[in-house]
């Protein structure tokens, strides 16, 4: 009854302004309100709420324009005190465990910065999120779970707030999973005993971290797509359906990254009730407040609620409950609502006196409410995110909620408990790496740690004995939750991948039929999808460009994944290739989101570790909108040890022609070359694609290599020749001889992608018009050639007394003579990658500069990569070497239509 009265008071205090500002009949208004109050008090809040919504409905259907509903609830906890469940754990012992973890997390950073100033690390973030983490670790994060058949399945997935990593390490240290040496070497990864990586990096700690998160915004988007992919796997029958959850712990400042909020409607549309966001609202980012002049929590609440999420706010700790209960007039809520975040930060950055005066003191009635509380009591009024009971209740609700994803907005304090030198609640909190001795000692007192003053001042690690109640409890809890966390599985269910004869069609060539490499690739994909072993594991991912790439036949063949099936009859249902959506559809048709598609690629490409099932994603995108647009996600994919094929279609700055400057890609191969585990290929022919994909499948899914592929795919149609005898090795390693000249060559022409055709044409012109014989080579990967050469060179450098290792490019081209002219639809720097091993013989022709809309012919002339430019470059170079008459070379330029004074395309 008391609670209802309290709610009533609060609701009245919150009453919105009337529709018409002047109340024309106050008496009538009061009657209505009293009638409603009666329902609230004598029936239930639910009934009262129902009647309100029924009235609203009625008003709408009568055509009244009502004010838009607010997506905000008052600035208080979503879960009412009377609805709270009791805490299922031992609060006191959990508090002690948390205090030890807090201490060691802080000590880890402080120690490192003492011995190595500038090594960095963060203490304030974990200090704010510790309770949110610990309630999860003790009661929610399951390492394994049983499916309906009683089989062990991988448990929940947790995306940790990256720079809270010291806290996660600190817990693993207390669990005995990390050694003292390891924590002493936090951020010192190159020391005698491998240290701990700065942030969650599976590449560096493959048994520990699963998800790279520290680049702001990655976690949110990846978590959404992970939760969606989890359903995809279940709906396609590839994994058992469980109640496994994806948790993402995010910073409030981090929510400003467009990626953080960019796909939240996907999560609600897909009804991802396996997804829980916990936003650590400590009201601060790196430089200062997230929303000094507003309220980040209210802003996020409205946005998430508007997007269809279940929102749970955890703002105030237990200590506030009696104050709310006393608050008959709603003055406390009023004060809470009128304060902006900048003020909330000051309340914490200063002392209790300030809080009493500035917060409570503003209204006498409010000041009276805390008059009998000591300064210490006031100071100990906690925020919700620091109260285990409040946090537990929010998690439990989120865990049980059905039909929507949940976001928990937890109000915390940055640098909680670290004192002034640790930056508690202060703008400098994020950068603080050290605590002064007073604050170190205060820390131990504040959290009740049994650490001597001397040890405290030295920020020594504190490890209770194995048989201490804390350690015993810790292990018990983890056992109950199926094991330790985080932990990354490295075993996978490797599969037998197809041999090369599976790709007969591509190896045999197109018999004169003109097809593009994109079409050839689609044929490969189609065959793979039909294969008994690998077929069901293939995940085609497309951001709304299937028709552009000629892939629409796949819609019908394997269906588009739609969690609800197809609720309508498609207009093209009577056609053979209709737009088929189904619950077990295989294609992830993502719509226009390259970043989202990349997250699907990541979920699928790491499924071998996360779900124990090897999946084979092919993500086909507009090559310009891949690496350059979403490069950070690709980098994280590599860190996560992802496997799969990225396919940059409509590749090449002149092969995709009419689209102009923003679309024509001449540099994705440069960008892809920067990712250490990415193998970049620029194939010219169908059989090259077949050989590369066959080898990639073998290496990734049969040999268990943590690598992935980038293939440039073009849309120019030409006859696809059969594969020359014995070309496989060269195709994989990066170069093979495609067509020898009739006689000993005077020069060598390198081509990749469709430029191979220009190079072959140049070979004919050189022979027929200028009597120069050349050999033509197809270069499938300059980047692989370079990497091989760098490896060989390094080995030789480190083994000066042994015979030198010869790089593949040297073995292939070392004995040849004469200039080497390369033509590529990519930047000159792509062929230049092998220049150091060609003794100054290389001339690179490429597409440096902005693209233009025009025909291929004009574009290739403009960028000086066409056959005429190749011929001219060869003659010019031969002339410089004294092997061709210079005047004739100049004359040839005129014959070939080249202009010496043309604008340089690199700066045009
Ligand atoms: C994309 C990106 N930009 C910048 C940074 C640098 N950075 C690390 S933490 C941080 C502030 C984070 O604030 P918030 O998300 O509120 O987390 P808090 O530490 O307050 O919990 C910034 C800017 C980053 N990690 N990633
Ligand atoms: Mg923050």
pLDDT in tens, 256-290: 999 999 999 999 999 999 999 999 999 999 999 99
The residue whose two tokens read 């060539």 is: 509
Pairing of strands 774-779, 735-739: antiparallel
Q: How confident is the model at residue 155 (pLDDT cuts 50, 70, 90)?
A: very high
- Ligand 2: distance of its center to the CA of 296 in Å? 10
Selection from 684, 715, 720 nearest residue 507 by Cα: 720
Mutational pocket test of ligand 1: of 109, 161, 253, the residue with most ligand atoms within 8 Å of the beta carbon: 253
CB 212 within 8 A of CB 202: yes
Biggest distance spanned by C-alpha atoms of the chain? 108
* CA-closest residue to ligand 1 atom 22: 286
User: Count of residues for the chain?
Assistant: 908
Index of the ligand 1 atom closest to the CA of residue 129? 21
The residue whose two tokens read 């690598």 is: 707
| pLDDT > 60? residue 338 | yes
Q: What is the pLDDT at residue 115?
A: 86
Index of the ligand 1 atom closest to the CA of residue 252? 16
HSE-up of 707 (CA within 13 Å, CB side)?
21
pLDDT in tens, 192-219: 777 899 999 999 999 999 999 999 999 9
Index of the ligand 1 atom closest to the CA of residue 124? 19
The residue whose two tokens read 């104050």 is: 323
- Ligand 2: distance of its center to the CA of 676 in Å? 32
HEC secondary structure over 557-626: HHCEECCCCCCCCCCCCCCCCCCCEECCCCEEECCCCHHHHHHHHHHHHCHHHHCCCCCEEEEEEEHHHC
CA distance 38 to 40: 5
* CA-closest residue to ligand 1 atom 10: 286
Neighbours of 721 (CB within 10 A): 18
Q: What is the pLDDT at residue 226?
A: 98
- Ligand 1: distance of its center to the CA of 285 in Å? 6
Selection from 433, 469, 473, 439 nearest residue 456 by Cα: 439
Query: Cα 844 from chain centroid?
Result: 36
Torsion of Cα atoms, 741 then 742 then 745 then 749, to 10°:
-10
**Measured between alpha carbons, how far is residue 95 from residues 109, 447, 464, 544 in Å?**
22, 8, 14, 50
- Ligand 1: distance of its center to the CA of 163 in Å? 8
Query: Cα 839 from chain centroid?
Result: 42
* Mean local confidence (pLDDT), 406-418: 96
**Measured between alpha carbons, how far is residue 379 from residues 87, 351, 354, 355, 798 in Å?**
24, 8, 10, 8, 62
- Ligand 2: distance of its center to the CA of 281 in Å? 6
- Both tokens of residue 684? 């010219």
Index of the ligand 1 atom closest to the CA of residue 122? 19
Least confident of 3-12, 632-641, 743-752, 766-775: 3-12
| pLDDT > 60? residue 383 | yes
DSSP codes of every residue in 491-515:
-----PPPPGGGGHHHHH--TT-EE
- Ligand number nearest CA of 432 is 1
Q: In the beta sheet, which residues pair with residue 275?
A: 246
Q: In the beta sheet, which residues pair with residue 737?
A: 777
Q: What is the pLDDT at residue 9?
A: 54
- Ligand 2: distance of its center to the CA of 285 in Å? 4
Ligand 1 pocket, Cβ-based, cut-off 6 angstroms = 125, 128, 163, 214-216, 251-254, 280, 282, 284-286, 290, 414, 430
Sorted by sequence, the CB contacts under 8 Å of residue 785 that are 6+ apart come out as 733, 734, 735, 779, 807, 808, 809, 833, 834
Helices (H), 307-387: 321-326, 331-338, 341-349, 352-354, 364-369, 375-379
- Ligand number nearest CA of 341 is 2
- Ligand 1: distance of its center to the CA of 518 in Å? 40
Q: Tell me the pLDDT of the chain averaged across its residues.
A: 95
- Ligand 1: distance of its center to the CA of 72 in Å? 26
Mutational pocket test of ligand 1: of 124, 217, 254, the residue with most ligand atoms within 8 Å of the beta carbon: 254
Index of the ligand 1 atom closest to the CA of residue 255? 15
Neighbours of 757 (CB within 10 A): 17
- Ligand number nearest CA of 162 is 1
* CA-closest residue to ligand 1 atom 3: 216
CA distance 171 to 387: 19
CA distance 258 to 593: 12
Index of the ligand 1 atom closest to the CA of residue 250? 15
- Ligand 2: distance of its center to the CA of 161 in Å? 10
Q: What is the pLDDT at residue 5?
A: 55
Q: How confident is the model at residue 228 (pLDDT cuts 50, 70, 90)?
A: very high
Mutational pocket test of ligand 1: of 215, 249, 430, the residue with most ligand atoms within 8 Å of the beta carbon: 430
CA distance 318 to 327: 15
* CA-closest residue to ligand 1 atom 17: 251
Index of the ligand 1 atom closest to the CA of residue 430? 19
Q: What percent of the chain has pLDDT over 90?
A: 89
- Ligand 1: distance of its center to the CA of 430 in Å? 9
* CA-closest residue to ligand 1 atom 23: 286
| pLDDT > 50? residue 13 | no
- Ligand 1: distance of its center to the CA of 596 in Å? 21
* Mean local confidence (pLDDT), 709-727: 98
Neighbours of 454 (CB within 10 A): 9
- Ligand number nearest CA of 429 is 1
Least confident of 5-9, 413-417, 735-739, 789-793: 5-9
Q: In the beta sheet, which residues pair with residue 779?
A: 735
Index of the ligand 1 atom closest to the CA of residue 632? 1
Q: What percent of the chain has pLDDT over 70?
A: 98
* CA-closest residue to ligand 1 atom 19: 125
Mutational pocket test of ligand 1: of 163, 166, 344, 633, the residue with most ligand atoms within 8 Å of the beta carbon: 163
| pLDDT > 90? residue 431 | no
- Both tokens of residue 866? 């066409």
Index of the ligand 1 atom closest to the CA of residue 251? 15
Q: Which long-range contacts (CB under 8 A, 24 or more apart) does 860-864 make?
A: 860/654, 860/758, 861/897, 862/654, 862/905, 862/908, 863/653, 863/654, 863/905, 864/898, 864/905
Index of the ligand 1 atom closest to the CA of residue 280? 21
CA distance 339 to 345: 10
CA distance 559 to 561: 6
The residue whose two tokens read 């199926």 is: 482
CA distance 690 to 698: 12
* CA-closest residue to ligand 1 atom 25: 215
- Ligand 1: distance of its center to the CA of 219 in Å? 12
CA distance 117 to 152: 46
* Mean local confidence (pLDDT), 421-450: 91
CA distance 120 to 105: 13
Helices (H), 21-120: 26-42, 45-61, 91-115
Mutational pocket test of ligand 1: of 248, 285, 427, the residue with most ligand atoms within 8 Å of the beta carbon: 285
Selection from 228, 291, 292, 238 nearest residue 264 by Cα: 228
- Ligand 1: distance of its center to the CA of 138 in Å? 27
Mutational pocket test of ligand 1: of 216, 260, 635, the residue with most ligand atoms within 8 Å of the beta carbon: 216
Q: How confident is the model at residue 15 (pLDDT cuts 50, 70, 90)?
A: very low
pLDDT in tens, 163-180: 999 999 999 999 999 999
Backbone angles phi and psi of 532, in degrees to 5: -65, -40
Q: In the beta sheet, which residues pair with residue 842?
A: 820
* Mean local confidence (pLDDT), 634-661: 97
Q: What is the pLDDT at residue 148?
A: 86
Q: How confident is the model at residue 1 (pLDDT cuts 50, 70, 90)?
A: very low
- Ligand number nearest CA of 124 is 1
| pLDDT > 50? residue 14 | no
Q: What is the pLDDT at residue 6?
A: 55
pLDDT in tens, 794-845: 999 999 999 999 999 999 999 999 999 999 999 999 999 999 999 999 999 9
Q: What is the pLDDT at residue 16?
A: 44
- Both tokens of residue 906? 């690199």
Index of the ligand 1 atom closest to the CA of residue 254? 15
- Ligand 2: distance of its center to the CA of 252 in Å? 5
Q: How confident is the model at residue 89 (pLDDT cuts 50, 70, 90)?
A: very high
- Ligand 1: distance of its center to the CA of 397 in Å? 28
For the sheet with 842-845, list strands across it: 735-739, 774-779, 747-751, 820-823, 842-845
- Ligand 2: distance of its center to the CA of 170 in Å? 21
| pLDDT > 50? residue 19 | no
pLDDT in tens, 562-572: 999 999 999 99
Neighbours of 807 (CB within 10 A): 24
* Mean local confidence (pLDDT), 416-438: 89
| pLDDT > 60? residue 11 | no
Q: What is the pLDDT at residue 34?
A: 94
- Ligand 1: distance of its center to the CA of 216 in Å? 6
Q: How confident is the model at residue 68 (pLDDT cuts 50, 70, 90)?
A: confident
Sorted by sequence, the CB contacts under 8 Å of residue 274 that are 6+ apart come out as 227, 230, 231, 243, 244, 245, 246
Mutational pocket test of ligand 1: of 123, 212, 251, the residue with most ligand atoms within 8 Å of the beta carbon: 251
* Mean local confidence (pLDDT), 22-36: 91
Sorted by sequence, the CB contacts under 8 Å of residue 69 that are 6+ apart come out as none
DSSP codes of every residue in 657-714:
-TT-TTT--S-HHHHHTTSTTEEEE---SHHHHHHHHHHHHIIIIIS----EEEEE--
Mutational pocket test of ligand 1: of 125, 286, 595, 631, the residue with most ligand atoms within 8 Å of the beta carbon: 286
- Ligand 1: distance of its center to the CA of 288 in Å? 11
Index of the ligand 1 atom closest to the CA of residue 163? 9
* Mean local confidence (pLDDT), 358-371: 96
């Amino acid at each position: 009854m008391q609670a209802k009265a309290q709610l009533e008071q609060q609701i009245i205090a919150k009453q919105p302004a009337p529709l018409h500002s002047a109340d024309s009949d106050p008496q009538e208004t009061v009657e209505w309100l009293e009638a409603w109050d009666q329902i609230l008090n004598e029936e239930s809040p639910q009934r009262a709420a129902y009647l309100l919504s029924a009235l609203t409905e009625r008003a709408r259907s009568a055509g009244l324009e009502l004010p838009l509903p607010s997506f905000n609830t008052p600035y208080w906890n979503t879960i009412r005190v009377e609805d709270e469940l009791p805490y299922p754990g031992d609060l006191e012992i959990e508090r002690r465990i948390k205090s030890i973890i807090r201490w060691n997390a802080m000590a880890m950073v402080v120690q490192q910065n003492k011995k190595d100033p500038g090594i960095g690390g963060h203490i304030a973030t974990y200090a704010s999120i510790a309770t949110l983490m610990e309630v999860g670790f003790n009661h929610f994060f399951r390492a394994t779970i049983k499916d309906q058949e009683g089989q062990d399945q991988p448990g929940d997935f947790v995306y940790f707030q990256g720079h809270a990593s010291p806290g996660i390490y600190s817990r693993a240290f207390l669990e005995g999973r990390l050694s003292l040496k390891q924590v002493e070497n936090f951020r010192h990864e190159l020391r005698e005993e491998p240290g701990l990586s700065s942030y969650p990096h599976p590449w560096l700690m493959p048994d520990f971290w699963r998800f790279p998160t520290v680049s702001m915004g990655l976690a949110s988007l990846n978590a959404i797509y992970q939760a969606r992919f989890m359903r995809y796997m279940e709906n396609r029958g590839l994994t058992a359906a469980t109640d496994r959850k994806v948790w993402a712990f995010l910073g409030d400042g981090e929510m400003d990254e467009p990626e953080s909020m960019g796909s939240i409607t996907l999560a609600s549309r897909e009804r991802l009730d396996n997804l829980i966001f916990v936003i650590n609202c400590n009201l601060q980012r790196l430089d200062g407040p997230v929303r000094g002049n507003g309220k980040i929590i209210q802003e996020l609440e409205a946005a998430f609620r508007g997007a269809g999420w279940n929102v749970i706010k955890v703002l105030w700790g237990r200590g506030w409950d009696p104050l709310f209960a006393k608050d008959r007039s709603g003055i406390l809520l009023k004060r809470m609502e009128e304060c902006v975040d900048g003020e909330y930060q000051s309340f914490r950055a200063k002392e209790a006196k300030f809080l009493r005066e500035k917060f409570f003191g503003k209204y006498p009635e409010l000041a009276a409410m805390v008059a009998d509380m000591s300064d210490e009591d006031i100071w100990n009024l906690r925020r919700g995110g620091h109260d285990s009971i409040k946090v537990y209740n929010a998690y439990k609700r989120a865990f049980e909620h059905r039909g929507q994803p949940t976001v928990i907005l937890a109000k915390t304090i940055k640098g909680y408990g670290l004192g002034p030198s640790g930056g508690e609640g202060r703008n400098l909190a994020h950068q603080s790496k050290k605590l002064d001795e007073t604050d170190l000692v205060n820390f131990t007192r504040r959290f009740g740690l049994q650490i001597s003053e001397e040890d405290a001042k030295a920020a020594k690690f504190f490890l209770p004995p194995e048989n201490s109640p804390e350690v015993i409890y810790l292990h018990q809890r983890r056992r109950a939750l199926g094991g330790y966390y985080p932990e990354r599985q490295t075993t996978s269910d490797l599969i037998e991948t197809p041999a090369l004869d599976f790709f007969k069609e591509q190896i045999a060539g197109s018999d004169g039929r003109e097809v593009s490499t994109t079409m050839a690739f689609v044929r490969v994909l189609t065959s793979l999808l039909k294969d008994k072993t690998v077929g069901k594991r293939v995940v085609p991912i497309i951001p709304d460009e299937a028709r552009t790439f000629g892939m629409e036949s796949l819609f019908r063949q394997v269906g588009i994944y739609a969690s609800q099936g197809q609720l309508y009859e498609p207009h093209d249902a009577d056609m053979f290739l209709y737009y088929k959506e189904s619950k077990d559809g295989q294609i992830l048709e993502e719509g226009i989101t390259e970043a989202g598609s990349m997250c699907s690629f990541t979920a699928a490409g790491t499924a071998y570790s996360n779900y124990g099932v090897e999946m084979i994603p092919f993500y086909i995108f507009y090559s310009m909108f891949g690496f350059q647009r979403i490069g950070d996600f690709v980098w994280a994919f590599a860190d996560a040890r992802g496997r799969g094929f990225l396919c940059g279609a409509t590749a090449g700055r002149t092969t995709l022609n009419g689209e102009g400057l923003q679309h024509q890609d001449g540099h994705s191969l440069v960008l892809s070359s920067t990712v250490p585990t990415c193998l970049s290929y620029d194939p010219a022919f169908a059989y090259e694609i077949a050989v590369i994909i066959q080898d990639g499948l073998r290496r990734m899914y049969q040999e268990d290599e943590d690598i992935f592929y980038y293939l440039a795919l073009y849309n120019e149609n030409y006859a696809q020749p059969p594969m020359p005898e014995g070309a496989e090795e060269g195709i994989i390693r990066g170069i093979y001889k495609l067509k020898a000249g009739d006689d000993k060559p005077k020069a060598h022409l390198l081509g990749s992608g469709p430029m191979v055709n220009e190079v072959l044409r140049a070979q004919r012109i050189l022979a027929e018009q200028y009597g120069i014989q050349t050999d033509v080579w197809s270069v499938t990967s300059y980047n692989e050639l370079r990497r091989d050469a760098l490896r060989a060179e390094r080995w030789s450098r480190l083994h000066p007394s042994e015979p030198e290792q010869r790089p593949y490019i040297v073995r292939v081209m070392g004995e040849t003579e004469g200039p080497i002219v390369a033509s590529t639809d990519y930047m000159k720097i792509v062929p230049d990658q092998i220049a150091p091993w060609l003794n100054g013989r290389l001339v690179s022709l490429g597409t440096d500069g902005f693209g233009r809309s025009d025909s291929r012919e004009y574009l290739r002339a403009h960028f000086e990569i066409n056959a005429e430019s190749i011929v001219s470059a060869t003659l010019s170079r031969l002339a410089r070497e004294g092997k061709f008459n210079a005047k004739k070379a100049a004359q040839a330029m005129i014959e070939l239509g080249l202009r010496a004074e043309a604008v340089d395309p690199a700066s045009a």
